[in-house]
Structure 1
Amino acid sequence: MGERLRKLGIRLAEARSTALFQLATELPAAVLARTLGIDITVAVKWQRASAGDWGAYAAEISRRQGS
């Protein structure tokens, strides 16, 4: 399968990185780690690289629940 994709010009490593980068912008690190089965520290690194700001999101949720 990998060889067929390469012949079509699809680079697997780049496609995987792109997919992880996109997911890291959309999901909190804990969810990303649990869903993909990767270590939380790896998920946090992907999130930081993608500039996902889930700290602000968590603070907002916390404020909503406290009201």
Structure 2
Amino acid sequence: MSAWAMGERLRKLGIRLAEARSTTLFQLATALPAAVLASILGIDINVAVKWQRAAAGDWTAYAAGINRRTTAEQA
């Protein structure tokens, strides 16, 4: 199935792709540091920083989670 055909099916179901994409990106921006977001999505770091600022992202919880995993793996 092509991307266009998939998009048409989703639109018929009432799923607005642009809104879903924006929501997903904003959720990621609140959960991940801009550098990680840029790397994962293959976007410019400046764009990732703008998304993070717009979403009021606080990625300290992400950093704490990484620290907990690293500590648990070392034990």
The TM-score with structure 2 as length reference comes to: 0.70
User: 2: CA distance between counterparts of 1:27 and 1:37?
Assistant: 14
Seq. identity, %? 86
Aligned to 1:7: 12
The TM-score with structure 1 as length reference comes to: 0.78
Runs of 5+ consecutive residues of structure 2 not aligned to the other structure: 1-5, 65-75
How many equivalent residue pairs?
A: 57
C-alpha RMSD over aligned residues = 1.7
User: 2: CA distance between counterparts of 1:19 and 1:40?
Assistant: 18
Aligned to 2:21: 16
Q: Deviations over 1:13-57 (max 9, x none)?
A: 000000000000000000000000011011000000010134xx4
Aligned to 1:50: 55
Aligned to 2:72: none
Runs of 5+ consecutive residues of structure 1 not aligned to the other structure: 62-67
User: 2: CA distance between counterparts of 1:53 and 1:8?
Assistant: 34
